[in-house]
């Protein structure tokens, strides 16, 4: 099993630009989570999907952030327009309903907004 796959691994962009992060969950998993990690705030849940449907997006910081899951094997997190305070490592994780809470993380995308 390839595990959770994220791309790109690193992204450097300028303030105001659109950023799209991508995630492929583990095959067979039906829940997908987007987290953000910073030194100040630690690991924060942004949004999660179950069976491709967004269930809880209360962690999304503001309207500049949006996430989609068009099918069971792909999700995107988009930031438009990006700001320097969005600089962080963004992780995608997946799990399946038979093992609630047991989440497996991808390697993350390190985003730097200049």
User: Is the peptide bond between 81 and the residue preceding it cis, with omega within 30 degrees of 0?
Assistant: yes
Give the nearer residue to other proteins in terms of CB position, either 13 or 30: 30
Asked if 97 and 9 count as a contact pair (C-beta separation under 8 A), the reply is: no
Asked if 46 and 59 count as a contact pair (C-beta separation under 8 A), the reply is: yes
CB of 93 to other proteins, least distance (A): 8
Give the nearer residue to other proteins in terms of CB position, either 75 or 103: 103
How distant is the alpha carbon of residue 113 from its chain centre?
16
Per DSSP bridges, beta strands 10-13 and 109-113 are parallel
CB of 73 to other proteins, least distance (A): 18
Nearest-CA neighbor of 75 among 98, 102, 57? 57
Give the nearer residue to other proteins in terms of CB position, either 19 or 47: 47
Give the nearer residue to other proteins in terms of CB position, either 6 or 82: 6
Asked if 61 and 68 count as a contact pair (C-beta separation under 8 A), the reply is: no
CB of 100 to other proteins, least distance (A): 6
Binding site for other proteins (CB under 8 A): 4, 31, 33, 35, 42-43, 45, 48, 50, 55-56, 59, 91, 93, 100-108
């Amino acid at each position: 099993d390839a595990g959770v796959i994220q791309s790109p691994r690193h992204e450097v962009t300028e303030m105001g630009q659109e950023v799209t992060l991508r995630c492929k969950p583990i095959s067979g998993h039906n829940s997908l989570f987007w987290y953000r990690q910073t030194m100040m705030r630690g690991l924060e849940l942004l949004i999660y999907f179950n069976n491709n449907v967004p269930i809880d997006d209360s962690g999304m910081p503001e309207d500049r952030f949006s996430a989609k899951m068009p099918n069971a094997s792909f999700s995107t997190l988009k930031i438009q327009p990006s700001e320097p305070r969005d600089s962080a490592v963004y992780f995608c994780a997946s799990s399946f309903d038979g093992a609630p809470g047991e989440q497996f993380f991808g390697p993350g995308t390190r985003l730097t907004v200049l």
